[in-house]
Every structure is written in structure tokens, then in C-alpha cells.
Amino acid sequence: MNSHFIEIVKYDQRKMEREVINLWNECCQFDLITTEKFRQFIIFDENFNNELCLVAIDIDKVVGFIYGYKRQYPYLDKGLESEKGWIASIFVKKEYRHHGIAKRLLENIEQKIKEKGAKTIILGANSPHYFFSGLDIDNYPEATSFFEKNGYNSFEKHYSMGMNLHFFDLSEKSKERKKNFEDFGFQFKVFDYSYSLELLEFLKTEFGGGWKYNALEAMRKSKAHERIMIVLAPNGTICGCANRAIDDNEMRFGPIGISKKVRNLRIGTVLLECSMLEMRKRGIYRMFFMTTDENGRRYYERVGLKVIRTYYSYKKDL
Ligand SMILES: CC(C)(COP(=O)(O)OP(=O)(O)OC[C@H]1O[C@@H](n2cnc3c(N)ncnc32)[C@H](O)[C@@H]1OP(=O)(O)O)[C@@H](O)C(=O)NCCC(=O)NCCS
């Protein structure tokens, strides 16, 4: 193989979709994908831009792929984030590695993202629909050294965690705490729609537009009563909320949040355990979430979740 004959061209859905997805599954074995998911996450994203979705071709065979991301439309209260761009995915067929193909793909996209005004490029975590929340250095060591050689620096460590719920029940400690909170006037409740407006306002004020949007989507789909639990303070107002299935994967937990006014009292732990029990009652016997930091890790470990994958956030200033 002579790498000089490898052409870099724009992704062409009708010609390349099948081959790109097959190669994705060959190269990214810890993040398998279906055609439907590929379309949902990439093609149907309003920010999809064909200029930033490129394919490396050897004569007529797909041997590499890159998908870069730059907002063209404001995303809730984050807006356009015009100084940021993202590399959402990159892979090269095994037999074609170490011939500079990934570097050509990357430099091509970096240049275009820079021309569009970005000052920083981040790996993964392109809200709201990302595949990778950062670099998984245990499972993709080659990708890590590739990005480090190309000027990307790690700045944060975070975790994806999960747990089986087959035999889950509230711990004795949480049962006792729940009773004490309830005696004090708190209530842990499955969401009902009479709290819709109050919940949306609470989430926007305490946690930002993304949290509000996730709850709104559950309400629009008439799923909020199945997926959301709330905590009411003694004065009857909402002071906590746990959501799940924000991408319609019933096992995906989060986000969960407690009002700043009543944090670190273990209300969050009781709400978490009540939500886990509710999942079990519904026959959802496995839970996982995509990412949390060191504080969050301690919080979830205390109720039995284990780290599944460790991610590092990486970025490069242009
Ligand atoms: C995480 C959170 C729901 C916990 O609620 P809480 O009622 O304070 O929880 P508890 O009192 O039961 O437990 C406190 C634990 O939360 C964790 N925690 C504290 N601050 C946190 C934060 N900003 N982010 C994540 N976890 C945090 C810590 O493990 C802490 O225990 P520690 O005593 O070991 O430090 C609450 O801190 C919160 O709303 N944070 C902001 C939203 C968030 O990051 N949610 C988690 C990711 S979806």
C-alpha cells in the first residue's frame, strides 16, 4: 500500500454508509454502532456539515473516517460556543495505520474548524449527542498516543459507571434516612404532570438549559412519569430531581441533582436509591451513566455502582 494514493474525500452517504459503519465497528470495538444510531447521532444532527465529515479512500475502499463538529445553531444556554470545535470520531483501518492517514484527516478538519473561528478543539463530548465523552485511554491506547503527538493535552479525568439492579433494595441506612426526611416533611415522589412547569423552572435555574431540555423531552414524549422522580421540600416546592433514558435507552441513568440549599444531607443518596428501586420495579435490571467526576464517583460508589470506563478530556488550542 502506498499511502500517497490514499484520497481524502467528503463522506457520501449513498456510496459509503455501509462501509463506514462496518469499519467503525471493526476499529471502535468498545463503541459499536448501528446504521440507525449513526444516522441519529451524525446525519440528523442540525449541525452536521459535510465539509467536516471526511473519508480516506484506497481506490474504492473506505480505509479511514473523521467527523468534526462545529455549531451552526445555538445550543440552549450554551449558544454557539463559537470559539470551540470538536473531533467527534476518527478511525483508520488496522492495516493502514502508521502511514499518516489519520494525521491527514485530522489536519484537514483542524484547519477547517479553525477557519470557522474556533480557538480550541475538544475530543468528544459534543453535546447533546456524543459517542465519546473523552478519550478512553485503557481501551484505545493508540488513539491516545496519536492525539498527544498531535498536540492535544489532557485536562480532566472522569468516569462511566454502572450496576446490576436485579436484587437492588434501599440500604437500611437509606430506609432510615428516608423515614427521617419524611418525618421532617420531605417527599420522594414519582413525577406527576401537575409539577411540569415548576420542575422545568427548577432545573433551568439550578442546573441550566440542558437539564430543563431533557425533562421537557420526557414530558413531550409522555414518558416523564416513568422516568423522573422528584423530591419536595417541607414547604412543598421541588428541591431535587432524577431523570433517566434521556436518549431513550431505558438503562441510562441521570442527570440527578439536588438544590444547592439542601446538598450534602444525603437527600441525593436517598433519591438515587429510590430511583434505582423504581427502575427495578419496572424490570430495568441494569443501570449505567456516561460520565461523572471524582466527587460524583464517590457518591455513586457508596450505593454500589462500579467504574466501567475511565475517560480523559483532551483539548488543543489552535
Ligand atoms: C450529586 C448530588 C445530586 C448529590 O446530592 P446530595 O444530596 O448533596 O448527596 P448526598 O448528601 O447524598 O451525598 C453527598 C455526596 O455527593 C457528592 N458530591 C458532592 N458535590 C458534588 C458535585 N458537585 N458533583 C457530583 N457529586 C458531588 C460527594 O460524593 C458527596 O459526598 P462526600 O461527603 O463524599 O463529599 C448533588 O451534589 C448535585 O446536585 N450536584 C450537582 C449536579 C450533579 O453533578 N449531578 C451528578 C451528575 S448527573
Indicate if the pLDDT at residue 2 is higher than 70: no
Task: List beta partners, residue 286.
Answer: 164
Indicate if the pLDDT at residue 36 is higher than 70: yes
Question: In which domain, by residue range, is 72 found?
Answer: 3-157
295 is a domain residue: no
Pairing status of strand 253-258 against strand 286-292: unpaired
Q: Which pLDDT does position 1 carry in this prediction?
A: 64
Q: Which residues make Cβ contacts (< 8 Å) with residue 47, sequence separation at least 6? A: 69, 70, 71, 72, 73
308 is a domain residue: no
**215 and 239 housed in the same domain:** yes
Give me the mean pLDDT over the 63-90 stretch: 95
Cis peptide before 255 (omega within 30 of 0): yes
301 is a domain residue: no
Ligand 1 centroid to residue 159 C-alpha, Å: 15
**120 and 47 housed in the same domain:** yes
292 is a domain residue: no
**153 and 171 housed in the same domain:** no
Q: Which pLDDT does position 125 carry in this prediction?
A: 87
309 is a domain residue: no
Q: Helix (H, G, I), strand (E, B), or coil: what is residue 246?
A: coil
- Which residue CA neighbors atom 5 of ligand 1 most closely? 268
- Which residue CA neighbors atom 10 of ligand 1 most closely? 266
- Which residue CA neighbors atom 48 of ligand 1 most closely? 255
**177 and 236 housed in the same domain:** yes
- Which residue CA neighbors atom 7 of ligand 1 most closely? 268
Mean pLDDT of the chain, nearest integer: 96
Q: Where among 127, 157, 187 does a domain terminate?
A: 157
The answer to whether the Cα torsion of 111, 157, 75, 244 is positive or negative is: positive
Instruction: Please name the residue ranges forming H helices in the chain.
Output: 13-27, 35-38, 101-115, 141-149, 172-184, 196-207, 209-220, 224-227, 267-281, 294-301
Taking residue 302's Cβ as centre, other Cβ atoms within 10 Å add up to 15
Q: Which residues make Cβ contacts (< 8 Å) with residue 94, sequence separation at least 6? A: 26, 27
Indicate if the pLDDT at residue 81 is higher than 90: yes
86 is a domain residue: yes
The answer to whether the Cα torsion of 195, 196, 200, 201 is positive or negative is: negative
Note the pLDDT tens digit of each residue in 161-215: 999 999 999 999 999 999 999 999 999 999 999 999 999 999 999 999 999 999 9
Q: Which residues make Cβ contacts (< 8 Å) with residue 317, sequence separation at least 6? A: 119, 120
- Which residue CA neighbors atom 3 of ligand 1 most closely? 257
d(CA 246, CA 213): 10
C-alpha cell, 118: 474556533
**146 and 238 housed in the same domain:** no
Q: Which pLDDT does position 105 carry in this prediction?
A: 98
Q: Which pLDDT does position 129 carry in this prediction?
A: 79
**139 and 175 housed in the same domain:** no
pLDDT band at residue 4, thresholds of 50, 70 and 90?
low
**250 and 108 housed in the same domain:** no
Out of 174, 299, 302, 303, mutate this one to test ligand 1's pocket (max ligand atoms within 8 Å of CB): namely 299
**101 and 227 housed in the same domain:** no
31 is a domain residue: yes
Q: Helix (H, G, I), strand (E, B), or coil: what is residue 69?
A: strand
Ligand 1 site: residues with CB under 6 angstroms?
A: 254-258, 263-269, 292, 295-296, 298-299
302 is a domain residue: no
Q: Helix (H, G, I), strand (E, B), or coil: what is residue 293?
A: coil
| CATH number of the domain where residue 50 is located | 3.40.630.30
d(CA 293, CA 161): 11
C-alpha cell, 231: 423530591
**178 and 126 housed in the same domain:** no
Counted domains in the chain: 2
Q: Where among 101, 122, 157 does a domain terminate?
A: 157
